[in-house]
Structure 1
Amino acid sequence: MTGTTTTPRSTGSPLGRPFGSHLSAVGLANLADGVVQIGVPLLAVTLTRSPLLMGVLTAAVWLPWLVCGIPAGVLVDRWDRRRTMICSLLVRAALLGGVALLAWADLLTIGVLIVLALGYGVTEVFADLAAAAQVPALVGRDAGRLRRANSRLLAVQHFCNGFAGPPLAGILVALGAAWLVGTSALVAVAAVLALALGLRGRYAASRPEAESAGTRWAELTSGMRTLWAHPVLRPLALAAGLWNFASTAFSAVIILWMVGPESVGGLSPQLFSLVMVALPAGALLGSMVAGRLLRRWSEMSVLVVCWGLNGVLNLMPLLWPTAWGLAIFLLGVGPLGVVGNIVSGSIRPRMVQDHVLGRVGGASRVLVFGAMPLGALAGGQVAELFGIPVVLVGVASVMLLATLLVGATVPQSLVDAHELEPERAPVG
């Protein structure tokens, strides 16, 4: 945000009203995400049982990160980040409203759902990059404050995306496709109102004069060059990309494995939606204990242990494909995932200057999220050729490989050596 303040804040001080408004908007946006992420695949399995098409649908959600991540990061650094979030959410609401009309007219097809996933993904790229880049402007760069802010953001995200979203999706799927996407459109509008009315002022990063005079190509590549040259951020991004490749391969096939009379699990869409609540239940636990864990052990030790245990737990749906097995799996990976995300999410803002934070974030997510459509397509294709069990074993193996990579290349001493000096926190 332009116009930084001069009053320092202690690590334990309140995060402020502006952050509270930001948190509300993020929560509402994630409620819509939770409904769409669970509801659209459940709609899709009523239109197709093809693992390949389900893989394409999952890939469509994440493909925009691969294509748009870098230019979106540059634009987020140029534009007002609050306005970027508002415009992205408005476009998302319009897209969902249009698909709701098609569903109401009984014109919904798997092709329409794939287009919806692509468009939704584009809005997510801009909204998420702007939201992440805005956090240091709201709370400062102190490691403790950033961890507390990320803990609250992740807790709200998991509650809205996972606790409230899936059961609501199950109810709305039963009511009809138009209800599902139409309700999501209204929630996106509510997120816009939370930002427009609750968070005032400009949130654009100041750009050095030397950088302003640079070429467009230099701007586009600066984020990836900064990321690739960084001894901490590069291996973290590569390992996270490998992890997410496996994670979306899992997501592409798990509904076919668990839902429907033809599946191994035999769950109904409503029961599957209800069981998915176990994920945010575990995630909320993780957000509550993360601070204690990080006060006792180093960040990277906690991250490696969480990733390793998470990888092993991904075998559970294969070994115990029941509602109880799925619930226990989700309860386990929830806290492990959120603690790992708190660690990784608090590292980048401490390593990168504010005026390039958006583009470095975009470059990072090209690697981290850009691997996800590839994983979804690979998971769908492998399942089509060799069966879903092969995919589930491969997922756990790749996750453990990613854990070994980050454990071997990013010790805590390296993180500490490359941390920037903390900036003073804003008042508010």
Structure 2
Amino acid sequence: MTVGSGAVPLGRPYAWLWSSSALSNLADGVLKVALPLVALRFTDSPTLIAGLGVALSLPWLLFSLPAGALADRWDRRRSMLWANVVRGGVVVALGTAFAVGAGNLWMLYAAAVIIGSTETLYDTSAQSILPQLVPTAGLDRANGRLQAAELTTNQFIGPPLGGLLAASGAALSFATPAGLWLVAVGALWMVRGNFRIERTGSPVTLREDIAEGLRFLWSNPVLRVLAAMTGAFNLATSAAFAVFVLYAVGPASVLHLEGAAYGALLASTAAGAVVGALFAGQAVARIGRSASLLIAICTGALFVGAPAVTSNVWLVGGVFVLGGLGMAFWNVVTVTLRQRIAPARLLGRVNSGYRLLAWGTMPIGAALGGLIGEAWGLRAVFAIMAVLTLCLLVGLIWVTDRHIAEAEEAAEQAAS
């Protein structure tokens, strides 16, 4: 089987999907910054401000599995359309409330929960619809371009735009993402066709649907090991970056950075990730999936471990660029593998189960980072997490190019 995406045309429907995704992620980037900035008008409590981030992300732990089951039951395009309509409607209502002077902190919390919940359905459906739009040989390139657009809009353009809009007024900071989601709905509307997976057999409950997806994920050695490896890597990065601000910012820190320089340093990771996402398809075609994952692990170890051995901010920034590039390689390879290996009727549930395992470790990692930092110092956090990341190399024993090819061949035979 040819791994590379070559010059396989991605098609006009993919272009509309790409445009819709870019607009949706720009709205996300604006809102994630605007919400806490607007909340500062009502409270200066660190707990209450941080709680908005929890309200946005907690639905991934609570609703990701049902969202995956629904993505396999419903038309995936329609699910994405309704998710954006709901998100846009919520922020329109929020902006209206603030425009007439009726807004408050608890409205921000309610909006964050609803937006985070609909995001689980949108993102799961978006990853699951791609194999229905793009030829299998083009999935690497399609995923890479989508990820590059998401990173650029969500991390580069969205946050500063959100800060600028929040300074101009709460109503405008909410009207803008609402308008972006509305335009995203229009772009996705141009993707024509039926994207509901036909189901056979007797009707089953949502719980049985979820269990079937989890069984498939657990029974497939390649996907199972990759989910565990991703969870471990996310634990390591969450631990390191839960305390990195203490290492980097302020006169008492090691790097002695101010806020703007700290933001630029973190942006170097996103810059590397954008480059990596654009070239991941070519890298996979040249060196294979397993070698691409090897690069991601090694650059990931440097990424979390560099602050343990150097206080040179330029060197740290360079390593962060490499770390972002490696993470993009990892994401493109693993997302594409799920799309190729999981049956179409199970893809939503496999995606959501994988994400639950991969992302569920992040709060644990953040807590570990704090505990280790308190006990042994900040450099110990970075060193320990670098060692943990290098331990992921063991997983490549089960994720070789041969094992990947066998899993893909088995999936093709089961589908035929």
Give TM-score scaled by structure 2 length. 0.83
Choose which of 406, 409, 413 in structure 1 pairs with 2:395: 406
- Residue type matched to 1:70 in 2? L
Does 2:90 correspond to 1:95? yes
Secondary structure of 2:9's partner? coil
Q: CA deviation at 1:123?
A: 1.7
1:162 to 155, 168, 188: 155
Residues 379-417 of structure 1, C-alpha deviations (whole Å, 9 max, x = no match): 46666787765554454344333x234223322211111
Deviation at 1:161, TM superposition (A): 1.8
Retained in 2: the 8 A contact 1:63–1:373?
no
Return the offset for 1:17.
Answer: 0.7
**What residue number does 1:199 align with?**
191
Q: Cα–Cα, structure 1 residues 135 and 172, in superposed 2: closer, same or farther, change >3 Å?
A: same
Letter of the 2:287 partner, please give it.
Answer: W
Of the three residues 369, 373, 379, the one matched with 2:359 is: 369
- The alpha-carbon deviation at position 92 of structure 1 amounts to 1.9
**Structure ranking higher on relative contact order (CA contacts 8 Å, 6+ apart):** 1
> Residue 13 of structure 1 aligns to a residue in which SS?
coil
1:126 corresponds in structure 2 to 121
Query: CA separation of 1:305/1:329 partners in 2, compared to 1, >3 Å: closer, same or farther?
Result: closer
Distance 2:243 2:142 in 1: 33
Whole-Å Cα distance in 1 between the matches of residues 165 and 310 of structure 2?
Answer: 28
Decide which of 66, 70, 79 is 2:74's aligned counterpart. Answer: 79
Residue 370 of structure 1 aligns with an amino acid whose one-letter code is: G
Report percent identity of matched pairs.
34
1:60 Cα deviation after fit:
3.9
Hey, what does 1:302 align to over in structure 2? 292
Partner SS, residue 221 of structure 2: coil
Report if the CA contact (8 A) 1:162-1:276 is conserved.
Answer: no
Deviations 1:252-290 (A, max 9, x none): 444565567887666555554455443332223213332
Q: Which aligned pairs between 1:248-259 and structure 2 lie closer than 5 A?
A: 248-255=238-245, 258=248
Of the candidates 206, 226, 242, which is equivalent to residue 236 of structure 1? 226
Asked if the contact 1:58/1:376 (under 8 Å) is kept, the reply is: no
1:282 counterpart SS class:
helix
> Alpha-carbon deviation of 1:191?
1.4
Partner of 1:288: 278
* CA spacing shift, 1:29–1:99, aligned 2, 3 Å: same
What SS does the corresponding residue of 1:202 show, helix, strand or coil? coil
- 8 A contact 1:35–1:169 mirrored in 2: yes
In the superposition, relative to structure 1, how do residues 280 and 79 fare at CA in structure 2: closer, same or farther (>3 Å)? same
Question: Counterpart of 1:342?
Answer: 332
Question: Are residues 170 and 317 of structure 1, via their aligned partners in 2, closer, same or farther at CA, if it must alter by over 3 Å?
Answer: farther
Match of 2:406 in 1: 417
Please point out which of 195, 212, 225 is paired with 1:222: 212
Q: How far apart, in 2, do the equivalents of 1:189 and 1:317 lie?
A: 42
Q: Would you say the 8 A contact 2:228–2:358 is kept in 1?
A: yes
Question: Number of residues paired by the alignment?
Answer: 406
Match of 2:82, as an amino acid?
A: C
Within-5 A mapping of 1:37-76 = 37-38=32-33, 40=35, 50=46, 58-76=53-71
- 2:302, 2:323 within 8 Å by CA — same for their partners in 1? no
Structure 1 residue 351 corresponds to structure 2 residue 341: yes
TM-score (norm 1): 0.81
**Structure 1 residue runs without a partner (length 5+):** 1-9, 424-428
Greater helix content: 2
What is the RMSD of the two structures over their aligned residues, measured on CA atoms? 3.5
Q: CA–CA distance in 1 between the matches of 2:386 and 2:183?
A: 38
Measured in 2, the distance between the counterparts of 1:156 and 1:150 equals 10
3-state SS of the aligned residue for 1:286? helix
Instruction: Point out where structure 2 has 5 or more consecutive residues left out of the alignment.
Output: none
